[in-house]
Amino acid sequence: MSDTLPFMQVDVFTDRPFLGNPVAVVLDADGLDTASMQRIARWTNLSETTFVLRPTAPGADYALRIFTPDRELPFAGHPTLGSARAVLASGRARARDGRLVQQCAAGLIALRVDEAGGRLFFEVPAARVGALGEADAAAIARALGLDGAPPRFEAVDVGPVWLTAALRGGAEVLGLRPDMAALEAISRRLGATGVTVHAPNAPGTQGPWADAPDIAVRSFAPAAGVPEDPVCGSGNACVALQRRAQGQRDAYVAAQGEAIGRAGRIAVAFRGETIEVGGATVICVEGRLRTA
């Protein structure tokens, strides 16, 4: 079939179709130029669309380019996991000793393949963290609709830059009704992908899967064309970095997506100085994409 490419859509951070966060994955995409990739990503209108290429870096199993509807990202979490699932399922790469290596604009990303548990994990890349000033923190708090003194926001750069803060509780996180225009303006001014907030759930909080996730997370990225990212791997990486900086190194499970009906579960583990973020994946669509 000329002018078509293999295509999958994968739900990430869920073991059930139609929950979690979908990513569109275009395989064998070496013949596409940047403008074509951006046009396809705008058409899918998902938070991210990825393009799998032949690797050029030694040790990489495949290369990946990642696009939101209006920009390219150097790295993103749920697209990394969904693309790895597509690469494995299509036979374009095989795990070696339970490991895969992805090449992307952020460098080489190591992944762990937990075949027994049906999950994939990525290692959080090297990050840069800087605290925001009081005025910027107050502006974000107002845009989120928070009352009282603003929380301490940090700009956490893991490829995407998330303005990240801990709130008082999971109910506060789920109750946010952000001013998206204000968040977009702040994100653009600060050169950030968006805003991620998190907080511990009250003991015994039950999610829609009859489980009890440890924390609640939400990520807002209107400046990247994604008002609310259903379940965000890079945002959760930033949360994990903040929690580790506060001395919290126990493994935990985060809930994200409840506020928009896309409940997902993110597993986070600390292995020495390495942070792993992962979860289940489900291939929901498989076929061919017409590209011309």
DSSP readout, 79-141?
HHHHHHHHHHHTTS---BTTEEEEEETTEEEEEEEETTTTEEEEEPPP-EEEEPPHHHHHHHH
Looking at the structure of the chain, the number of domains it has is 2
Shared domain for 209 and 74, answered yes or no, is no
Give the per-residue pLDDT at 6. Answer: 98
Residue carrying structure tokens 């929901």: 284
Q: First-to-last CA distance in the chain?
A: 11
The H-or-E segment that residue 241 falls in is: helix 233-245
**pLDDT over 80 (residue 122):** yes
The pTM of the full predicted model, rounded to 2 decimals, is 0.92
Distance CA 285, CA 238 (A): 30
Shared domain for 113 and 201, answered yes or no, is no
Shared domain for 16 and 87, answered yes or no, is yes
**pLDDT over 60 (residue 1):** no
Shared domain for 13 and 96, answered yes or no, is yes
Distance CA 110, CA 122 (A): 6
Distance CA 92, CA 6 (A): 12
**pLDDT over 70 (residue 150):** yes
User: Has 276 been annotated as catalytic?
Assistant: no
**pLDDT-derived band at 175, boundaries 50, 70, 90:** very high
CATH number at residue 138: 3.10.310.10
Give the per-residue pLDDT at 116. Answer: 77
Give the per-residue pLDDT at 202. Answer: 76
Shared domain for 136 and 253, answered yes or no, is yes
Which tokens in the block code for residue 6?
A: 């293999």
Kindly state the average pLDDT of the residues 58-63. Answer: 98
pLDDT tens digit sequence for 235-283: 999 999 999 999 999 999 999 999 999 999 999 999 999 999 999 999 9
Shared domain for 114 and 212, answered yes or no, is no
Shared domain for 119 and 231, answered yes or no, is no
pLDDT tens digit sequence for 190-227: 999 999 999 999 776 666 666 779 999 999 999 988 99
**pLDDT over 60 (residue 183):** yes
**pLDDT over 80 (residue 123):** yes
Shared domain for 150 and 262, answered yes or no, is yes
Give the per-residue pLDDT at 204. Answer: 62
Shared domain for 114 and 162, answered yes or no, is no
Shared domain for 172 and 267, answered yes or no, is yes
Shared domain for 113 and 135, answered yes or no, is no
Average pLDDT, the chain: 94
Distance CA 149, CA 160 (A): 27
Structural domain boundaries, residue 179: 128-273
The H-or-E segment that residue 263 falls in is: none
Which of these is catalytic: 48, 123, 228, 258? 48
Q: Which residues of 9-45 are buried (b: 16+ CB within 10 A; e: fewer)?
A: bbbbbbbeeebbbbbbbbbebeebeeeebbebbeebe
Query: 145 phi and psi, to 5 degrees?
Result: 85, 25
Shared domain for 60 and 136, answered yes or no, is no
**pLDDT over 90 (residue 292):** no
> What 3-state DSSP class applies to 21?
strand
**Which residues have C-beta within 8 Å of that of residue 101, sequence separation ≥ 6?**
59, 60, 61, 108, 109, 110, 111
Residues present in the chain in total: 292
Distance CA 137, CA 116 (A): 43
